[in-house]
Amino acid sequence: MLPIVALARTGKPAFRARPGAAPAAMLIVPDAVWDGVADAARPGWVVLVRGNRIDTLGPAATISAPAGAEQIELPGATLVPGLIEGHSHLFLHPYDVTPWDDQVLKEPFGYRTAEAVAHARTTLLAGITTTRDLGTEGAMDGDVQLKRAIERGVVPGPRILAVTRAIVATGSYGPRRPGYAFDPPQGGDPVHDVHVLHDVRFVMKDGVRYR
């Protein structure tokens, strides 16, 4: 099977970190392109990117790159549209490595942020160009700050739809109080009754947009 390389169709190029700026145009030349419409990949196709957006794709003989365009050769690869991931937690890592309670209670915010930066890069390299991060699990609005860093080209990563702190029913989430001799911090914001509206407003204040 040919290697697969994913490419976002719209928005800012999330794959370039500072200091290098994106070129005015790029011509990407793989072995084949799957456009998401045809049943099979199309051999001999190329993709022309202008600025932040895909401009044209089709047979190489029909597309002329503007003067000064960067040409990226991808021999042996099939190019596909960027993949969209619908439920991630970039501020967590596998529980068989570190239990969830230990991540929430024992790992400092700075360490979890560094892990999230690494996870964002790995996610992008896996071909996922948009991810919906459904809660930082105790890391406050770190996902919003990571989203801003990616958008400004500070670190590489996918486009992030951020929600910051999960809003959960009181008494339904963890770490569980009976397991500790103190009242442990929660992975989400426990709320009930009219306090839900109050919490939603505070989350939106952190920079979240529900779309």
Which residue segments constitute the domains of the chain, with CATH numbers given?
4-81 (2.30.40.10), 84-205 (3.20.20.140)
- The rounded distance, in Å, linking the Cα atoms of 14 and 124 is 8
Which range has the worst mean pLDDT, 1-10, 104-113, 164-173?
1-10
Phi, psi (deg, nearest 5) at residue 92 = -120, 160
**pLDDT tens per residue across span 150-197:** 999 999 999 999 988 777 777 778 888 888 888 888 887 777 776 667
pLDDT reading at 55 higher than 70 = yes
Nearest to 90 by CA among 49, 54, 56, 118: 118
- Checking if the pLDDT of 32 tops 80, the result is yes
User: What percent of the chain has a predicted confidence (pLDDT) above 90?
Assistant: 51
Predicted confidence at residue 204, as pLDDT, reads 67
Across all residues in the chain, what is the average pLDDT? 83
pLDDT, position 189: 77
**Total-model pTM:** 0.74
> 208: pLDDT confidence band, cut at 50, 70 and 90?
low
Span 114-150, pLDDT tens digits: 999 999 999 999 889 999 999 999 998 899 999 999 9
DSSP string, 36-92: SSSSS-EETEEEEEETTEEEEEEEGGG--PPTT-EEEEEEEEEEEEPEEEEEE-TT-
